[in-house]
Amino acid sequence: MIIDVHAHVFPHHGGLSGYKDVKAHLRIQQEFIEKFWGRMVTSTLDERYMPYPWEEVDFRVGKYGRYYWTKNGQECWLQRFPAMMTEMEWPAEQMIGFMDSVGVDMAVLQSGYMEINYCREYFAEVVKDWSDRFIGTVTIDYDLDKSEEYRKGEFKKLKDSILNDGMKGVFQGFPRDQNPNDERFDPLWKEMSELNIPLFFWTGFMPKEPYLISLERIVRTLKKFPDLIGIIGHLGGNIRHPKDPNFTDTPSELFDFLRMPNAYFEVGYILAYENWEVWKENYEYPYPLHTEVIRRVYEEIGAERLLFGSDMPNTYRTCTYQQCLDLVRLHFDFLNEEEKTLVLGGNAARIFRI
């Protein structure tokens, strides 16, 4: 069985998607751009044209995977999704079609990638309708800056999602700037440990110092709660060019986390290298720097805690779904066939109880 632990489905990004109005939804998407500036292909890398979250720049969702806005007299765009998407939507049926075409049996749908409550009911319906193809996750807002009553409500959302809606994991679940070692988080980690569900920690996509602090906090949390299963995707989320001031020697900064017996790592994410202007020859499939990162991780911890994940449909900003899968099958020559079976689905089947 092949299981992709990082996939998405979503309704049209120009619609409500569970928000109070379309404007609120568009504002969330505009906020996204500043966080990922320089990672995705844009019409310009000149920061004079970057749309800040508070600016009125006629931000809009276009076709073929692009966001558009107008700033300083210039129309600009960012390639948020692959150009193969005529409309800015990715329904479950389309994801299943791509899964069938390459032989992927199941996919884990990562929720909350826009913001905490994004499409919660939508994801629940998808998992219910295609329970044999999708494994669901839920994102909650266990925020220490809010009232205890509010956190109890988020706690209830977690239990309802797992026990009633069939979700089998949590994506993030708390504000990234808060310390998961705070004892007020203990009830949450205890409950997740008892429910035996993994937690996808969303790391990286931030300056170097807070990134390293967040990793250290995660390590202490997993030590304190050895039955809590932690997963880090996006290769840690901080792949940078050596000339970048926030460069870290990935994966060495992740080794304290990876050495934990309850820690898992996603190995299929290649979107860090998607911008030719930054990476030049290392932009090209089969991404030699990516393979080197995974080889170093494998030499450190072996294959038993590595998970294949593609970030579909975003994968198509760089390569095909087939190529992403074949990175493991054909280009990770440091793995034997038994280890490849574990990485491509065996490890995920164990932690998601398939």
Residue 54 pLDDT > 80: yes
CATH of the domain at 222: 3.20.20.140
Which of these, 130, 224, 136, 229, lies nearest to 180 by C-alpha position? Answer: 224
The two tokens of residue 210 are 């807070």
Q: What is the pLDDT of residue 123?
A: 86
| 299-331 residue pLDDT tens | 999 999 999 999 999 999 999 999 999 999 999
Q: What is the pLDDT of residue 241?
A: 87
Burial of 121 (0-12, 13-18, 19+ CB in 10 A): exposed
CA distances from 8 to 71, 187, 335 (A): 30, 29, 27
Task: Average the pLDDT over 59-64 and give the result.
Answer: 95
Task: Average the pLDDT over 6-20 and give the result.
Answer: 84
Same domain, 52 and 157: no
The two tokens of residue 15 are 């619609």
Which of these, 265, 121, 293, lies nearest to 201 by C-alpha position? Answer: 265
Task: Average the pLDDT over 21-46 and give the result.
Answer: 86
The two tokens of residue 97 are 């079609």
Same domain, 283 and 176: yes
Q: What is the pLDDT of residue 56?
A: 95
Same domain, 168 and 195: yes
Residue 118 pLDDT > 80: no
Alpha-carbon dihedral angle through residues 315, 133, 61, 122, given to the nearest 10 degrees? -150
Q: What are φ and ψ of residue 69, in 5° steps?
A: -160, 165
Amino acid at 339: E
- Work out the number of other CB atoms within 10 angstroms of the CB of residue 35: 10
Last residue of a domain, one of 62, 79, 96: 79
Same domain, 99 and 67: no
User: Chain-centre distance of CA 333, in angstroms?
Assistant: 26
Task: Average the pLDDT over 195-201 and give the result.
Answer: 96
| 224-274 residue pLDDT tens | 999 999 999 999 999 988 888 999 999 999 999 999 999 999 999 998 888
Q: What is the pLDDT of residue 117?
A: 62
Q: What is the pLDDT of residue 116?
A: 61
DSSP state of 346: I
Indicate the number of domains in the chain: 2
pLDDT-derived band at 293, boundaries 50, 70, 90: very high
First to last CA, the chain: 10
Q: What is the pLDDT of residue 39?
A: 80
Residue 16 lies in a domain: no
Task: Average the pLDDT over 69-82 and give the result.
Answer: 95
Residue 70 lies in a domain: yes
Helical residues (DSSP H) of the chain, grouped into ranges: 22-36, 92-102, 120-129, 148-163, 186-195, 208-224, 255-258, 276-279, 288-301, 321-326, 337-341, 347-351
Q: What is the pLDDT of residue 114?
A: 55
Task: Average the pLDDT over 278-292 and give the result.
Answer: 89
The two tokens of residue 256 are 């304290």
The range of the structural domain enclosing residue 142 comes to 3-10+88-351
Amino acid at 281: E
Between 36 and 182, whose confidence is greater?
Answer: 182
SS3 213: helix
Q: What is the pLDDT of residue 210?
A: 95
Same domain, 64 and 103: no
Same domain, 144 and 285: yes
DSSP state of 220: H
Same domain, 175 and 39: no
Between 1 and 139, whose confidence is greater?
Answer: 1
Q: What is the pLDDT of residue 300?
A: 96
Handedness of CA 327, 328, 330, 332 (dihedral sign): positive
The overall average pLDDT reported for the chain is 92
Q: What is the pLDDT of residue 38?
A: 80
Same domain, 206 and 93: yes
pLDDT-derived band at 174, boundaries 50, 70, 90: very high
Which of these, 263, 265, 325, 317, lies nearest to 293 by C-alpha position? Answer: 265
Q: What is the pLDDT of residue 151?
A: 93
Q: What is the pLDDT of residue 112?
A: 65
